[in-house]
Structure 1
Amino acid sequence: MQISEPAPEQINLDSDKLQKGLAKLVLVVVELLRQILERQAQRRIQSGSLTSEEVERLGMAFMQIKQKVAQISDQFGLKPDELDGTLKGMLKTTDSQIAKTSLVDVLDSLLVKGVVLGGSVTVSVADIDLITLDLLATLSAIPGTRKTRKKKNG
């Protein structure tokens, strides 16, 4: 007597939807980081802790990042407001004051005040734990004090 194994269930993945979804996730993270870093740069500029050359380099870098995000968004048929809407939609509450707060505002506030984060992340596939990350991190903005840097000889 031969026992037949059941046929594996098939997963029907639409590769275009999968690519667009992955692109949107990556672009949302990049846009979130860009906005947070831009706020920190503005604080440093206002404090006078950056040279005019550093201010120029930051401005050019942020413009290039913004252009690249727009270019990749166009390639995947994503509109810029989809990325912004995703960021704002992450905080859901009935409190009208909190409802006006974006994720960028929350992270920016944490950076300004400083925060210690701790936690454990377990990555599993098919309900099998494969990786555990135990994390302890301090998150804070770099103070806006002027430092003289020594150039490394190459």
Structure 2
Amino acid sequence: MMLKQDDTPSNSGISCDSGHRRKLNINEENLKNGLAQLVLCIIKLLHELLERQAIRRIEGGALSAAEIEKLGLTLMQQGEELNRLRQAFNLEEEDLNLDLGPLGRLF
């Protein structure tokens, strides 16, 4: 579950009782989507790294034409599966671009 600046206790899942203790109200659907968002973000990061490594290998002349074709198809299928999973969890592309605070956005 990610909190945004405009989240209030009623919609963020966190509420305060009269003793000012924070109580976490866990919504199973929010928890599932939050976990899916995190996992898909990590998978997208790995996919981006694999694409960059593939480009370096291609530009370095380390791959044959057949290997380049196979690598391109594999990366394209990976990207399609990532999009399919993202849509299955009702996540937008921007949802996988985490805000790293002072470091900026992930992608």
TM-score normalised to the size of structure 1? 0.50
* Unaligned 5+ runs, structure 1: 1-9, 94-98, 105-154
Cα deviation for residue 103 of structure 1 reads 5.0
Q: 1:81 to 1:103 in 2, by over 3 A?
A: closer
Question: Which structure's CA Rg is the greater one?
Answer: 1
Task: Give % identity.
Answer: 35
2:91 pairs with 1:78: yes
The Cα shift of 1:30 comes to: 0.4
- Show structure 2 runs of 5+ residues with no match: 1-22
More helix by share: 2
Higher strand share: 1
- For residue 25 of structure 1, what is the amino acid of its counterpart? L
For residues 94-143 of structure 1, give each alpha carbon's deviation from its aligned partner in whole angstroms, at most 9, with x where no partner exists.
xxxxx5xx657xxxxxxxxxxxxxxxxxxxxxxxxxxxxxxxxxxxxxxx
TM-score, with normalisation over the residues of structure 2?
0.71
1:16 and 2:26 aligned = no
**RMSD (CA atoms):** 2.1
Q: Cα 1:91–1:61, aligned 2, differ >3 Å: closer, same or farther?
A: farther
Check 1:91–1:12 CA distance in 2 against 1; reply closer, same or farther (3 A cut).
closer
Which of 23, 41, 58 aligns to 1:45? It is 58
**Count, aligned residues:** 85
After TM superposition, the runs of 4+ consecutive aligned structure 1 residues lying more than 3 A away are none
